């Protein structure tokens, strides 16, 4: 069972920043991180969760309407309300994050935002960059755009993909298998023991995202998740290690 920092150690540092990723690895010993990728106006791949930059930065507008230079001028910690000060936090490029993951010999879950209907050829470009950093065996691509995940498999059958969902689904395992995906990434609160068993019987990885309270994380550990994606990787690792003793 692996523990990934959701947007890095986002419970302790500004989400989707190099500071949050380094903290996940160096302080909390996370096995991997989960990130989100968009295009900038000039076609650079940048890492942020929202389409609108105003929630996490001191800017306004949609991320794809700003050039990389404009995005790099923003503070990625401007709206951060947690402990600690991160005055130098910036919006990272995908290449910066992959370089860090490769350097630390860790794993990564890359969420593709909006797929090719908004970001042309994003699947091809991300897969190519994953290979550039020799991370093809340490990467899981995921998306709520399930067509995008099918496209990834068409581009490279060996790349691992995961179907994202934020609700309970009907005949989940059967549906995920039709996409060719390797994993199901579900909202932690929507899982049942029966569904986990069904997914496992279908040969699929079972991953959950954002259990952040101790009791939530412990419940997912007991269900036997392959990957737990949480804002608090340190807490999750502590609970996992206790359960495995």
Instruction: Answer yes or no: 49 catalytic.
Output: yes
Among the options 12, 49, 134, 146, which is catalytic?
49
| Structure tokens, 198 | 């069904």
* Residue 141: its H or E element: strand 139-143
Q: Tell me the torsion sign for CA atoms 15, 17, 21, 22.
A: negative
Instruction: Answer yes or no: 6 catalytic.
Output: yes
Measured CA to CA, the distance from residue 22 to residue 82 in angstroms comes to 17
Neighbours of 102 (CB within 10 A): 16
* Residue 198: its H or E element: helix 193-201
Q: Specify whether the CB–CB gap between 12 and 236 falls below 8 A.
A: no
Q: Specify whether the CB–CB gap between 126 and 112 falls below 8 A.
A: yes
Measured CA to CA, the distance from residue 222 to residue 219 in angstroms comes to 5
Among the options 6, 12, 38, 146, which is catalytic?
6
CB within 8 A of 134, min separation 6: which ones? 102
Q: Specify whether the CB–CB gap between 170 and 190 falls below 8 A.
A: no
Supply the residues annotated as catalytic: 6, 49
């Amino acid at each position: 069972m692996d523990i990934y920092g959701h947007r890095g150690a986002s419970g302790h540092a500004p989400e989707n920043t190099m500071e949050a990723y380094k903290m996940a690895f160096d302080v909390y010993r996370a096995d991997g991180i989960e990130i989100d990728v968009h295009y900038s106006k000039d076609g650079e791949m940048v890492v942020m969760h929202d389409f609108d930059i105003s929630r996490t930065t001191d800017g306004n507008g949609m991320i794809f309407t700003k050039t990389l230079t404009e995005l790099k001028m923003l503070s990625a910690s401007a709206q951060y309300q947690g402990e600690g000060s991160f005055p130098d936090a910036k919006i990272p490029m995908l290449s910066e994050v992959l370089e860090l993951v490769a350097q630390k010999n860790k794993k990564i879950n890359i969420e593709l935002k909006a797929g090719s209907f908004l970001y042309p050829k994003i699947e091809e470009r991300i897969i190519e960059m994953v290979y550039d950093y020799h991370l093809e065996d340490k990467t899981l691509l995921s998306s709520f755009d399930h067509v995008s995940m099918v496209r990834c498999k068409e581009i490279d059958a060996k790349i691992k993909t995961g179907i994202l969902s934020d609700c309970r689904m009907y005949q989940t395992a059967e549906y995920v298998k039709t996409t060719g995906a390797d994993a199901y990434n579900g909202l932690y609160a929507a899982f049942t023991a029966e569904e986990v068993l069904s997914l496992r019987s279908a040969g699929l990885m079972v991953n959950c995202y954002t259990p952040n309270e101790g009791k939530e994380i412990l419940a997912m550990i007991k269900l036997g998740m392959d990957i737990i994606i949480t804002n608090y990787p340190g807490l999750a690792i502590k609970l996992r290690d206790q359960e495995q003793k």
